[in-house]
A = this chain, B = another copy of it.
């Protein structure tokens, strides 16, 4: 720490991203897609586009906001685009809960929510998940507090239904409810339809998981025009040109390719269910994840030991050394081949220990 950092931030504990190893590994630790982006991405990243990088990108991000709006039956004015959904979450929590506001979220969820609260001076109430890691919606009904919920939740993979979310949104009309749908594509439902009825809902999505573009950094928020206007006001006061021209062009092309992505999503769901069965036959139990990852534990083996053992053998999964979940592994659903390698390796580890 330098001697210049503001006292406000001196005790800040930043978010820890999953490991990015250069070595050749089977990477099942950060919920990326095993499939490359839509071929249309290559078609739009032309030499001409690269030459035009000499000009600023469009601060209004019109092309991409239109493309997203079209997919969801909304207007461009209902869409805020960020440099990854973290950017969208940051501006949202800053703007709607910042400097003395209050926010609620589940105690086990995306690890970034408490970091944002800390950064922006937000009072955070973390509400305990039930023992089976599910959310009790009664904890949130009529809460009278801004709320952020990952749906499906991470790292549990458990999802609330649209009806359940509606009860939360309807019963907190004076607070903003942020539904972080980073993994929703793998659940095949969405709260976007509720936007037509409620002005206190924001739905956050990302291109990082279902759309195989984690490295491009594109996320978006869908909400009322007034909420989007507020987010743009913050963006224009922080970083007006937050989206580069390659991201705008590539993401616009990608989101239109429903055929390609629906096929990939269906395959990930198929492999997810298959892997659940294989892990179950090895003695693992876990949540009924509706995301592109599994959250599993084994009664006989320490999750930390399994994590280390897998790592030695070239398979990277995510282990959180945190209360209540430190016996669990979060395993991204990769390709069928990768998941076969995972379950084969786990079977081998178990066999070696037992011998």
Give the interface of A toward B (CB within 8 A): 1-6, 8-9, 12, 14-18, 20, 27, 30, 32-37, 41-42, 45, 47, 50-59, 83-84, 86-87, 90, 94-101, 115-116, 118-119, 121, 146, 174-176, 199-200, 208, 212-217, 224, 226-227, 229-230, 232-247, 250
Contacts and interface: CB of A to CB of B under 8 A. Distances in A.
Nearest to A234: B9
Give the interface SS of chain A, mostly helix, strand, loop or mixed. loop
A208 B101 CA distance: 37
B36 A51 contact: yes
Contacts of A215: 52-57, 244-246
Nearest to A13: B237
A83 to B, nearest CB: 6
Given A4-B176, A9-B234, A56-B32, A242 B83 contact: yes
Contacts of A55: 20, 27, 32, 214-215
Nearest to A87: B239
Nearest to A90: B238
> Sorted from nearest, which 10 A-B pairs have the closest CB atoms?
A14-B236, A2-B226, A215-B245, A36-B51, A53-B215, A54-B212, A217-B244, A56-B214, A8-B99, A14-B237
Contact of A15 (B87, B236, B245): B236
Nearest to A97: B6
